Amino acid sequence: MKGKVRYDQHLTNLSLAFPTGNLIGDMIAPIVSADNYSDYVFVDADDGIMQMNDEAEATKSNGVDFAVGDPYTYRTKRRALNHVILDKELNNSKKNSIIKAEQRITNKLTHRLRLKHEMRVQEILRSTSKVVNYTNVDSVASARLDEASPTFETDIVTAVKSINDKTGAIANTIVIPYQAAIYAANISFIADTLKYQYGMEYVKGNFQGQAIRTVGLPPIIKGLNVIISNGRVGNYNKGKTAAVTNPWGKDILIGYVPPNPGVEDMFGIATMEYDPFKVSKERVTDPEGTKIITEWDYDILEANLACWYLLQNVIG
């Protein structure tokens, strides 16, 4: 029926199951299901260290206010992209290719939505106006990973200590761009960790495991789970000279990602998801075809960004 938008369960399942590949946004800003599209939250960890007078012998007990500090707020938005598959394109193909064409377009649209999510996450975490605890590694002579005297080991200690001092959280994650990881693998303390602790054995069957094996990094460095950022994003208009970069640039991030994310846990950043990926189809005219619509309703909640530490310009 022309003009009627219909929800498609098969394509939605495909979109939900689409592998993230080299996109790491939801590994850093984990997805938390949101009951309301707009809300504010107080983090329990903020009031967990507050002391109260609990003496209540022959007197009323003291009330406790758990709404400590300024609340974190979010307001989710519908993010959506579409593509029209022309009837004449399908007429040139076999009948069973209709489903395959729709699956292919759904995958491509899902990837585009995830890429934009990744760019939103990195824009927050690489901003020194938001992540105010940072070090510009290139400002110290020969301190970069690709120089003679890298300060990477002491930089990690500085970052981990800063996060613990300011939040009480124990950093558990390090995000390293692929090109920086190549140089990091040559540093002696990392090479020794790989040689003596892991013996070249890695978890197989996932992108992160494959990327870590490719550059020769252990899966854990000084207690930090290693995440390799090897995504690609085009910063140019179609048809113009290509300008492709890593979304995470030349920066390393060290931080705390809650193992079981929830808005009442201490965290730096989360993806508040009101509606997961959903795919619909619509018959259109002028020209005749089927429009595939892929959507995702979420917001990036910025909480205690002191849970993250930024190492800028770790390579030239």
The answer as to whether 55 is a domain residue is no
- Owning domain of residue 197: 5-45+71-312
pTM of this structure: 0.85
pLDDT above 80 for 95: no
Range of lowest pLDDT (29-38, 40-49, 110-119, 166-175): 40-49
The answer as to whether 278 is a domain residue is yes
User: How many domains does the chain contain in total?
Assistant: 1
CB 307 within 8 A of CB 251: no
pLDDT confidence band for 172 (50 / 70 / 90): very high
pLDDT above 70 for 205: no
**Better-predicted residue by pLDDT, 2 or 158:** 158
Give per-residue pLDDT as tens, 207-239.
556 556 667 788 889 999 999 988 888 876 777
Q: Give the separation between CA 174 and CA 227, rounded to whole angstroms.
A: 6
Task: Please return the burial class of 167, using the count of CB atoms within 10 Å of its CB with bins 0-12, 13-18 and 19+.
Answer: buried
The answer as to whether 60 is a domain residue is no
pLDDT of residue 21: 72
Q: What is the CATH number of the domain that holds 276?
A: 3.90.1690.10
The answer as to whether 62 is a domain residue is no
Q: Give the separation between CA 148 and CA 211, rounded to whole angstroms.
A: 25
Mean pLDDT in residue range 111-138: 96
pLDDT of residue 191: 77
**Better-predicted residue by pLDDT, 225 or 4:** 225
E-strand spans in the chain? 5-7, 31-33, 38-41, 72-75, 77-86, 134-136, 173-177, 220-221, 224-229, 233-234, 244-245, 252-255, 269-284, 289-302, 308-312
pLDDT confidence band for 164 (50 / 70 / 90): very high
The answer as to whether 51 is a domain residue is no
pLDDT above 70 for 45: no
Range of lowest pLDDT (121-130, 253-262, 300-309): 253-262
The answer as to whether 50 is a domain residue is no
pLDDT of residue 202: 45
The answer as to whether 98 is a domain residue is yes
Mean pLDDT in residue range 96-113: 85
pLDDT of residue 198: 57
pLDDT of residue 17: 81
Give per-residue pLDDT as tens, 58-75.
889 988 776 666 778 999
The answer as to whether 100 is a domain residue is yes
Mean pLDDT of the residues in the chain: 86
pLDDT confidence band for 203 (50 / 70 / 90): very low
pLDDT of residue 209: 60
Cα dihedral 46, 48, 53, 56 sign: positive
Give per-residue pLDDT as tens, 243-252.
788 899 999 9
